[in-house]
Structure 1
């Protein structure tokens, strides 16, 4: 294809023009009389290259109030609209701004779709040598090159509905190129990717290098919980909520827009933006467990008294066999089966509940708290002697049934109080 680039294949020309991690490129005419910069899909005319650096390359803001123990570094929007590859002025300015803080603790607030990989690496290196403690707060999105910068912090905090994305570095080629030149370009991209992987490995100590490479190859969008699981994030802020919405092919995350058409996996981003917070879903699931626990312990058994069993001995024997078949070695499931045996429940009556408990127990560790609460309640119920009252005794009076239902309701209410439910 017929294209043009600033210099044939010089290292300076290639680094400035090509190794950009998001599609936001500078282009200049041969005569250098007209210059433009393309930012987020909009073409803006400028006068000189110095104007470009002054207007667009100071992309950070530092807040350092006298008397405050902590300073703030804000990185909102794109990281450097022109490359730091052969720019010595801008990184020096950033270093001077950082040095002026005198080692004061720093809160890094970042909400960025990415930008120039050289700028991100330079910022990462400067932050890693900073003497103060650094806490990174992802105020919405950390994507592409922005993820390099977050890895420099001592602690990374991400809101529940924030967004984290990693992918491979990309380049734009404006030149006639043969196979050797293309090979040279791919070798440089491979080297750049390795520097990024090295950063991620220092942060995600339990993730193998091969796995990180696969995540980058696939362009992986992560929720806060997923980023926490991989080790990119140290804490999920369940109180802070980010304002996200979709407008056509543009996603707006806390007032920072991003064109989803430039990514390989825009549907994953949409899913994260539109998903219900995992914590809320888990609470709904456990409330369903509460309802089933109420039924299991006998809060509503009016229909069972009406059942007639033509062969009580055979039916009872089969009931015991069916219940024993549900055991899986789990202490909680065994307790449920034992209660069902004593109270006269059948396997079918508790199957849905047991399946729900098994599914919950198989989830991630944060899900175990609800299971432990149910386990403790069942232990308390067994210790209290309440299980010694049969589920369907022939001589049970209405008064005893009401008392039993009240005790069960009290158990469920106690579990809700433990969880803080209303």
Structure 2
């Protein structure tokens, strides 16, 4: 029997170092969600919510930087709920990938921008289940309710029709920055001089329609760092 795709997604990325940072910078709080979402394989809601609540009294704005393949839908829901209750301005910056459960977070912030070259992916909820036919029926009913709650969040943010949002979720749809802006998931596109070098950071093989640019390493010209090359050349010349 093949390994369930949800478990495969977590295991494929489990070896990555955990990357969650929270910093205060002159009245501005910054949180970096550069990992999967979930207590035992990534960033937990408890960790995230503790940080933003501690920040709230010390800063005027909280900026959330996201590069995440998704994770536990209930953990993400708890994180989004805490974000929505903050009394300070919140801004989400999708710096590479916001997929699956990670898309919950920018749906509740005051503003959302996304790097040109990034992706925003929505799909139906997944789960792991064991047991008899009644157990599986119960899980199926739970998944249907989870999908409805996800649709509510997307519809509220975008103003989109539920039938269209449902079709996108069923198809596992990957939006470019331009498409995400057109359909109301984000407010602005962040233009950069160089494309983000995060294409090869995640193993996204568990998803069906992952864009090729996220399954292959970036071309050499994207990896070229002129300043680093000049430092190496200077070192060679000294020897």
Same fold, judged at TM 0.5 (above): yes
Give the SS at the match of 2:37. coil
Please identify which structure carries the higher helix content.
1
Match of 1:221 among 174, 189, 205: 174
* Alignment deviations for residues 229-282 of structure 1 (CA, whole Å, 9 cap, x no partner): 11011001123543347xxxxx41xxxx2223211113xx116889xxxxxxxx
Shift of 1:209: 0.8
Partner SS for 2:113: strand
Distance 1:99 1:272, change over 3 A: closer
- Normalised to the residue count of structure 1, the TM-score between the two structures is 0.46
TM-score, with structure 2 as normaliser: 0.78
Other-structure match for 2:228: none
Gaps in structure 2 of 5+ consecutive residues: 217-239
For the pair shown, the structure with the greater C-alpha radius of gyration is 1
For the aligned residue pairs, the C-alpha RMSD in angstroms reads 3.0
1: CA distance between counterparts of 2:75 and 2:128? 17
Aligned length: 212
Q: Distance in 2 between matches of 1:240 and 1:61?
A: 25
Residue of structure 2 in register with 1:145 after alignment: 101
Structure 1 residue aligned with 2:23, among 60, 63, 67? 63
Confirm whether residue 270 of structure 1 aligns to residue 212 of structure 2.
yes
Distance 1:123 1:265, change over 3 A: same
Structure 2 CA distance, aligned partners of 1:121 and 1:129? 13
- Aligned partner of residue 104 in structure 2, secondary structure: helix
Q: Where does residue 290 of structure 1 map in the other structure?
A: none
Q: How do residues 292-371 of structure 1 correspond to structure 2 at under 5 angstroms?
A: none
1:6-405 aligned at under 5 Å gives the runs 22-23=6-7, 39-40=11-12, 60-65=20-25, 68-82=26-40, 91-101=45-55, 102=57, 104-173=60-129, 175-178=130-133, 180-205=134-159, 207-239=160-192, 241-244=194-197, 251-252=199-200, 257-266=201-210, 269-270=211-212
Is contact 1:22-1:116 (8 Å) kept? no
Give the direction of change, closer, same or farther, for the CA distance of 1:136–1:240 in structure 2 (3 Å limit): farther
Structure possessing the higher relative contact order (Cα contacts under 8 Å, 6 or more residues apart): 2
User: Residues 275-329 of structure 1: CA distance to partner in whole angstroms, max 9, x if unpaired?
Assistant: xxxxxxxxxxxxxxxxxxxxxxxxxxxxxxxxxxxxxxxxxxxxxxxxxxxxxxx
Deviations 1:81-140 (A, max 9, x none): 5389xxxxx644433322221153011111111111111101100000111111111111
Q: Deviations over 1:393-420 (max 9, x none)?
A: xxxxxxxxxxxxxxxxxxxxxxxxxxxx
Structure 1 gap segments, 5+ residues each: 2-17, 26-37, 45-54, 85-89, 246-250, 275-422
